[in-house]
Structure 1
C-alpha cells in the first residue's frame, strides 16, 4: 500500500529530473498567481453621493435617443397616393383618371372578368386563407394543381409554389449556397437576389452588368485558386445567379454565353425570371424560350407571379431532387402561410389564358417597341432598356450636383405627368443597402392592353411633363 511518504518521494524525484528552465517558469507563475489571489485589491468604482438637487438637474438635462431616426418631410412614405377601384390600364388617383404606366400589369390580367369569376367560385369552396405553411396542413389540392400546370407549361420536372414573390429568391438562394461556397452574380441584380446572397454568407464575385467576358475572367481567377488547393476544391460548390430580364435596367441577360461558361467551369445556374416569365418568348415561357435554349440547361429557375398574372406569390422549378430539397430548406416555403386558394385559382386561369392566346405576347412586344420609339427622343432625358422590354427607365442626361437633386427633379416630372392624366412612378431603392445604386430614374411599365392611340397620348404627356419641369428648372437656375 502506497503511503504519503512514497508520494512525496515521487514528487521530489520528478522535480529533480525536470529541466531547470521549466521549474523556473512554474515558480514564476506560482508567485504571480499568489499575488493576484491574495495581494491585489479588487476594483471598486468611486461613488459620489448626489444631492436631490443634483439628481433633478441631471434628469432635466438628459435627452433620450429617438427610437427611430428623423424622417424627412419629403419622404414618399409620408405622402402616399390613394387609388380607387381596380388597377387596370386606367386607374383613379385622388379622384382623377390616369393612364397607368406605373403598375407591372404586363398582360393586362388585373380586372379580367374570367379570372375574377374563378376566384369567387374558389373562395366559396375553400374560404379565404390556408392558415398555415405548406408543410403544416397548408397544402390544398389546388396548390398541387397549380404546380403541375406550371411544370407542364415550362417543361420542368417539378415546381414549388411560394406565397410571396420576394421570398423566392431571397430564401431559395441560401437554401443551396452556404458559407464557404462561391457565387458569381451580375452586379445589377435586383434587391431580392442581393438579400439571398447576404443570407447565404457565401463568397460572392460580382461581375460587370451583362458582361460575359468579365464573368469568365472571374471564373478563371477562381479556377486558379482551386488548382492551388485541390483538396478544398473537391467540396467547393459554385453558383451563377442572373436575371432573365433585369428590373433595374430593362435589358436581357446573354443566356447562351452564360450557359456555355456554366458548362465549361462546372457551376450551377440560378435564373430569376420574375420579369421575363409571361413576357419573353412566343408563348411567354421566358428567356430560355426567347433564346431557344433548353430549359433543362438551367439548374434552377425562379419567378415572381406578381408582375404579369394579376396574382401574388411566385415559384421555383427544376429537377425533382432539387425541388425536394427546396421544400425542406427554403425558409420562405417552409414557414410562410400558403397562398390563398382563390389566388392559386386566379394563377391557373391566367396561365390558361396565356396558353389560349399567345398573341398577347406579340401585342406586348409591339407596345413596348412603340413606347421605346416615343420616349427615346425626349430632349434632356436618356432612356434605358431594350425595345422589347415592357419595363423602361427614363433618367436625366448627365448628372446634377447631388443625387437628391436628381430625385426631386424626377419626382416633379412624375407629379406633372399625373396632373395631366398619366401615372408613372419614380424607381425607389434602399440607398444604403444596394450593392450598386442605380442612377435615379422614372420607371415606365407597358401593358398589352393598351392601344397604340393610348400609348401615343401617354408618351406625349410624359414628354410634355419632362419639357415643362426641365424648363422650369432652367428658369430657376438662370434667376
Structure 2
C-alpha cells in the first residue's frame, strides 16, 4: 500500500513560503470565488432531483403542469382525450358561462388588453370601481381594492399593515401568502394548531400588552382540508383582545352560504364585525386577481401604500369584466350554489361510505382523500388519469410528511355519474396501488430503498 501524497500543490506551496517570508502570497494563478454561482446548490434542488429520479425509476410521469387542451371544467381534454376533471377551482362552472365570456370580449374591444400601468399612473377604468363596489357589497364592507394576484393581495396587505412592534396569529394550515406577508412585515409570528381556538386564546393572553397591534388570520374554507373555522368565536376573541381579524375567503366565496357570500353568511355572523376580508377572482369568479374588503380607512391606506397595488399594473379589462359578470351570474343563478352543495355532499358521503379517509372535510367543494404516502398519492394520480379521472396529488412540502392526499375539487357542473365513477375507480386503484407498492417494498415507511434511492430520500423529496 503506497503512502498518501502529502506534497503541496504549487499554490499552497507558494502561500506557505510567503507566510514564512512575512509577505502576502501571490494568488493570481487561482482567482478567489467569493460567491456560490450554482443554482444546483439552492435549498431544495437536491430533493427536486431525487423526486425526478424516483419518477424515472417507477416510470411515473410528473403529475403537475399537465397541458389542458381547452376549457377545463367538470371535464377537460388531456393528451387528446376527454377526462372527468377534479382539478379546477371553477366551483360554479362560470368559466364557460356565455355571459362571462361575452363580458370579457366586450371589455377587450372597448379598453384593450391592458390598462398599461399602475392605476395611480394610468388612472381608473369604470370596471375597476364597479367591481370593487360589488365586492364590498358581497362582504358588507365600506369599500374594496382589487390586486392583480390573490397572493400579492395577502403579502402586500399584511406587509403594509404590520411592523416589528406587532404580532400575527395564524392557523398552522394557513396559505403561504399569509406567511410570506407576515415575514415581510417583520412582525412576530405565532401559529396555532389547525382550528384550535383554545390555543389561540392562550396565545392572545400570553402576548397581550407586548405588541402595539395584533392580527388574527384564518381561512374561510381551508384549501387543503375542506373544513372551516369557528367564525363566531374568532370574532368574540378578536373583540375581547382588541385584535384585527382577517379572513381569507379565496375558496369560500361562491361556496359557503345560500347566496355564496362566504363563511359569514354560512355561520350567521355579521360580516361587518370582521376587519379584513380577502378573496380571489380566480375561483368561483372565473377570472384572475385578488381583493381586500373592509373599512374605507383600510382601503384608502392600502391604495396609497401597499406595494403590490401601488407598484403593480392595474387589473386588465378582460379579468375585471369577467369577474364582475361572474359575480352577477352567481347572484342571478343561485341554483348553481345549491347544485355545488349537493354535489359536494354526495362526493363526501360516497367516499366515506366506500371506506375512504376524507380527513376533516365537511363537504364544501374541497374533499381530500388521505393517502399518507406521497409516492402512493403520485402513483394513484397517474393511474386514475389513465382511467379517465384527473385529480392531483398533494405531497410534502405542501402538506406535512405522512399526510399526502388526492384533493378533489367539486363543481356545480359535475354530473352524478362523474362522482360515482370517480369514487368507484379510486377505491379500485387504492387497492391496486397498495398491492403494487407492498410487493415492491417502495412505501415511504419501508426500511428498504428503491433502486439507488434510499427510503429517507423518498420521504424528504416526495
- TM-score interval for Structure 1 and Structure 2 normalised by the shorter chain: 0.7 to 0.9
**Partner Cα separation in structure 1 for residue 90 and residue 441 of structure 2:** 39
Aligned CA distance change for structure 1 residues 422 and 138 (closer, same or farther; 3 Å): farther
Contact 1:392 / 1:444 at 8 angstroms: preserved in 2?
A: yes
1:328 aligns with 2:304: yes
Tell me what 1:45 maps to.
Answer: 24
- Runs of 4 or more, structure 1, over 4 Å off, are 74-79, 428-431
Q: CA deviation at 1:354?
A: 0.9
**Partner Cα separation in structure 1 for residue 344 and residue 272 of structure 2:** 29
Aligned CA distance change for structure 1 residues 437 and 346 (closer, same or farther; 3 Å): farther
Deviations 1:203-243 (A, max 9, x none): 111111101111111111113xx2xxxxxx5x711111111
**Partner Cα separation in structure 1 for residue 384 and residue 186 of structure 2:** 43
Deviations 1:87-110 (A, max 9, x none): 121101111111010111111112
Q: CA deviation at 1:124?
A: 0.8
Tell me what 2:156 maps to.
Answer: 171
**Partner Cα separation in structure 2 for residue 48 and residue 159 of structure 1:** 61
Tell me what 1:441 maps to.
Answer: 405
Tell me what 1:208 maps to.
Answer: 193
Q: CA deviation at 1:373?
A: 1.3
Aligned CA distance change for structure 1 residues 467 and 343 (closer, same or farther; 3 Å): same
Tell me what 2:390 maps to.
Answer: 423
Deviations 1:324-383 (A, max 9, x none): 01112221111111111011111111011111112221111111111001222445x521
Deviations 1:419-474 (A, max 9, x none): 0001000125656xx8x668211111000111222211222222222222122223
2:362 aligns with one of 360, 379, 387: 387
User: Over alpha carbons, which structure has the higher Rg?
Assistant: 1
2:335 aligns with one of 355, 359, 383: 359
What secondary structure does 2:228 align onto? coil
1:197 aligns with 2:197: no
1:157 aligns with one of 142, 145, 155: 142
What secondary structure does 2:77 align onto? strand
Aligned CA distance change for structure 1 residues 349 and 428 (closer, same or farther; 3 Å): farther
Aligned CA distance change for structure 1 residues 301 and 78 (closer, same or farther; 3 Å): closer
Aligned CA distance change for structure 1 residues 112 and 148 (closer, same or farther; 3 Å): same
5+ residue gaps, structure 1: 1-42, 227-232, 400-405
Deviations 1:310-335 (A, max 9, x none): 10001110010110011122211111
**Partner Cα separation in structure 2 for residue 48 and residue 157 of structure 1:** 67
Tell me what 2:67 maps to.
Answer: 82
What secondary structure does 2:39 align onto? coil
1:414 aligns with 2:381: yes
**Partner Cα separation in structure 1 for residue 308 and residue 360 of structure 2:** 31
Tell me what 1:5 maps to.
Answer: none
Contact 2:374 / 2:404 at 8 angstroms: preserved in 1?
A: yes
Contact 1:425 / 1:442 at 8 angstroms: preserved in 2?
A: yes
What secondary structure does 1:239 align onto? strand
**Partner Cα separation in structure 2 for residue 438 and residue 326 of structure 1:** 40
Tell me what 2:280 maps to.
Answer: 304
**Partner Cα separation in structure 2 for residue 78 and residue 386 of structure 1:** 23
1:170-249 matches, cutoff 5 A: 170-223=155-208, 226=209, 236-249=212-225
Moved more, 77-86 or 416-425: 77-86
Tell me what 1:463 maps to.
Answer: 427
**Partner Cα separation in structure 1 for residue 395 and residue 107 of structure 2:** 35
5+ residue gaps, structure 2: 1-21, 56-60, 443-447, 449-462
Contact 2:141 / 2:272 at 8 angstroms: preserved in 1?
A: yes
**Partner Cα separation in structure 1 for residue 409 and residue 230 of structure 2:** 22
2:260 aligns with one of 257, 273, 284: 284
1:66 aligns with 2:38: yes
Contact 2:377 / 2:394 at 8 angstroms: preserved in 1?
A: no
2:236 aligns with one of 235, 247, 260: 260
**Partner Cα separation in structure 1 for residue 374 and residue 426 of structure 2:** 16
**Partner Cα separation in structure 2 for residue 88 and residue 367 of structure 1:** 14
**Partner Cα separation in structure 2 for residue 348 and residue 79 of structure 1:** 30
What secondary structure does 1:441 align onto? strand
What secondary structure does 2:259 align onto? coil
Q: CA deviation at 1:171?
A: 1.5
Tell me what 1:345 maps to.
Answer: 321
Q: CA deviation at 1:388?
A: 2.8
Contact 1:133 / 1:139 at 8 angstroms: preserved in 2?
A: no
TM-score (norm 2): 0.82
Contact 1:138 / 1:337 at 8 angstroms: preserved in 2?
A: no
**Partner Cα separation in structure 2 for residue 262 and residue 302 of structure 1:** 17
**Partner Cα separation in structure 1 for residue 323 and residue 28 of structure 2:** 71
